[in-house]
Amino acid sequence: MRLVLLGIPGAGKGTQGALLSDRYHIPAISTGAILREAVQQGSAIGELASRYINRGQLVPDEVISQLVASRLREDDCRQGFLLDGFPRTLPQARLLQRLLRKLGTELDVAVDIVVSPEVAVERIAGRLICRRCGRTFQLRDFPAHGPWFCPACGGELTRRSDDTVQTARERIAVYLIQTRPVAEYYQAQGILHSVNGELEIEQTFQQIVQKLDVLNDHFEECTGD
């Protein structure tokens, strides 16, 4: 199965992406995570990206497109993948379509996780991220003072440099202008599926899998898996 997760920053794409990756045995590819790793490594791409990330702006399409193009050619993507945070602009959506066509395949579904900007900002302001596995948690579920450690892998939990209220608002504004049209693009193709992202994590997950299980059964029938 090949799918894209859409939704404003703080909608829960990373959280749902990790659950979906486990359920369907497909890699969850987060362009934000790839960029944060490049920043940590101090590579040229990382240095360039950090200027945009810390302002809440999008990294230029050319940079991100190259990263995604090479990632999707890796072996683990053959049976499917989940993209979190890509495409974020119409040119990126068109590029993905061309790329998949070249690989002889196409996108099955775009899942739009819908939350209000107020809920998203509150989540982002209280978010912790694991340095090792990238899972995210809410500060309110931990003691008031750190250090905090990941319940899943034991890695150290930290704050993202762009998870301030001000940057979160900017990122949401950028999403509404530049990424909203991507949802409309998939709606026009008849592959957009919207779910309520303000429910409990498990409830939102169930809404998504109700749709995806049907597609996955069809996919497995077609490939004989």
**131 a catalytic residue:** no
Is 171 in the active site?
yes
**Least Å from the CB of residue 214 to ligand AMP:** 27
**Cβ-contact 112, 100 below 8 angstroms:** no
Strands 127-130 and 156-158 come out as antiparallel
Pairing status of strand 2-6 against strand 81-84:
parallel
Residue nearest to ligand AMP (CB): 32
Active site residue: 160, 169, 180, 211, which one? 160
Per the residue annotation, which of 2, 36, 88, 123 is the catalytic one?
A: 88
Shortest distance, position 114 Cβ to ligand AMP, whole Å:
17
- The catalytic residue among 2, 36, 123, 127 is 127
As a whole number of angstroms, the distance between CA 194 and CA 110 comes to 8
CB of 202 to ligand AMP, least distance (A): 22
Judge contact between 188 and 94, C-beta under 8 A: no
d(CA 167, CA 170): 5
Nearer to ligand AMP, 157 or 216 (CB): 157
- Half-sphere exposure of 39 toward its Cβ, with a 13 Å CA cutoff? 18
Residues contributing to the site for ligand AMP (CB under 6 A) = 9, 30-32, 35, 52-53, 56-59, 64, 85-86, 88, 92, 171
Indicate which residues carry an active-site annotation. Answer: 13, 88, 127, 160, 171
